Structure 1
């Protein structure tokens, strides 16, 4: 009797194994991970914008998304901006990452359907990118690169440490974000005793001459987050070091290039937050309409001690406690 039971058991086991081993395609499910196509564009390549792009990529990688990027720089040529996004539209990308105000404007002109996520934009409403911070519009949203208090605090720093100074600034009047910032600088200067000397440029090759002519008037340089000037910041740094003129800048990455001080933000951080938004959109959790435009996180004082020494800045001991220090690269 036991032998018959053993034989029946063996037959049952082999039958089960045979059934499990048969592969008719119905017993297994293969789930291929989706690969998303992202067109990434910025007006020019410089440290701040590059860090924002790296932050954007890092966020999507940490979310576990498979992404293929088509990165295109406009090489600081406005004529290249819209054609780049036109090509993204023709290629049928899933999302456009627009890293700067001109790039975001070009993307919005190219499509009202493909989601656009922007960062490194100073004044999204003023530039006509969004209807409002809370209600950005049909297919666009993102993260600004200017904290509401950044310019005010920077001007207060200048007034406190360089009283009655003339501030020399160079910017591209063709960049809407720069015009908005200069207006904010002027507003912040009211009642401080500071004065402003301006030079405008159309391209990076004009920056050195503009800074040189300003040197005879300026007690302090202040370079805002103007893409044209920041891409040629070394020209301003050279003049500042030669003439012992403290160089205030608009963001910490410019300190690594030789600026002295700023109240600023981390561009990697705003790029990362934009990447988190992109992940929500790509996976269908949200649409651009569901995500308000965001300001960057809180700001703080950053100082480059080496630049301070090279630019003849008299050290204030309170900065040792107040500032985060950045070194020249």
Structure 2
């Protein structure tokens, strides 16, 4: 009787012991941080999560998912980075340049996937566009600026002076300013800069451009995008047309944008995270650039800002915002 009673209990114990490591191996941890919350960056976060779920990694089942926003504060971004590194997740997703810089500065071992970083080389996240052989890889939202300026000319055909509000402390914006200073003279235009180190500075920076520019162009600067409504208010009051590089900004009052679908960018980032969770090393994965471009136009915003869009431009748009 003793041996009979022991056998099934032993079998159960052995089965439990065999299953425990397997269950533990399936459990993965992904920590996500963004410098600020606005529609484009939120779309990336949601795209990453959706792609993980599509690959079978589901929060509460076999995935521990953490998300924290730095609320636009680089000091907070550094604190979040240190906290996440201490948690030792299987991957940290860092959305936007300041958050990516904070995370990369905090660890040389935990796998890091950046997203929505315009120039990861200039931001010193990677040395070049080849596999880094470090703990870092990711997806860039770099845009061809000549095509951006072609759009500016289509919206405001006679534009000579292009204004740009940006945060001089954000590496991706500094890169865009530098490139525009070289590009615009070749296109018969000049750049007029206005500094907005904080989101609350966006409105006053925009007002400083009134009377000095024919159009205001905005890149994916996180301070500017998070406070876009204040820019739109100035554009409407002063009849200064706004052209963006973030398509979500068109829904918020920009006249037009030739930009990336940030949900797609998030899913592209998510596919990269899945590769890490399945065993690939970040240093073996080449950084990627999103190549899918979309044109959004807003004829109503154009009218409020003193311009009329050509029928040809409206017809060529991916989406017409009413």
- So what's the TM-score if we normalise by structure 1? 0.87
Question: 2:101 matched to which residue of 1?
Answer: 105
| 1:36-185 to 2 correspondences below 5 Å | 36-65=28-57, 66-147=62-143, 149=144, 151-160=145-154, 161-185=156-180
Q: Any stretches of 5+ residues in structure 1 without a counterpart?
A: 1-21
Question: 2:267 matched to which residue of 1?
Answer: 272
Bigger Cα displacement from structure 2, 152-161 vs 74-83:
152-161
Deviations 1:31-70 (A, max 9, x none): 5372222211111111111111111111101001132222
Question: 2:310 matched to which residue of 1?
Answer: 316
Aligned mates of 1:137, 1:261 — CA distance in 2: 39
- Residue 156 of structure 1 deviates from its aligned partner by 1.6
Question: 1:252 matched to which residue of 2?
Answer: 247
Aligned mates of 2:246, 2:187 — CA distance in 1: 22
| 1:218-297 to 2 correspondences below 5 Å | 218-284=213-279, 286-297=280-291
Q: Any stretches of 5+ residues in structure 2 without a counterpart?
A: 1-7
Contact 2:196–2:202 under 8 Å retained in 1: yes
For the residue of structure 2 that corresponds to 1:237, the secondary structure is: helix
For the residue of structure 2 that corresponds to 1:121, the secondary structure is: coil
Bigger Cα displacement from structure 2, 298-307 vs 25-34:
25-34
Deviations 1:251-292 (A, max 9, x none): 1111121111121111111111111111111121x1112210
Contact 2:115–2:139 under 8 Å retained in 1: yes
Question: 1:11 matched to which residue of 2?
Answer: none
Alignment pair present for 1:298 and 2:292: yes
Aligned mates of 2:80, 2:306 — CA distance in 1: 44
Structure 1 residues 27 and 42: CA distance shift in structure 2, 3 A = closer
Alignment pair present for 1:32 and 2:23: yes
For the residue of structure 2 that corresponds to 1:32, the secondary structure is: helix
Aligned mates of 1:326, 1:188 — CA distance in 2: 29
- Residue 186 of structure 1 deviates from its aligned partner by 2.2
Question: Which protein shows a greater Rg?
Answer: 1
Aligned mates of 1:265, 1:186 — CA distance in 2: 23
Bigger Cα displacement from structure 2, 192-201 vs 103-112:
192-201
Deviations 1:165-212 (A, max 9, x none): 321111010111100011222222122222221110211111111111
Contact 1:249–1:262 under 8 Å retained in 2: yes
For the residue of structure 1 that corresponds to 2:116, the secondary structure is: strand
Question: 1:6 matched to which residue of 2?
Answer: none
Question: 1:5 matched to which residue of 2?
Answer: none
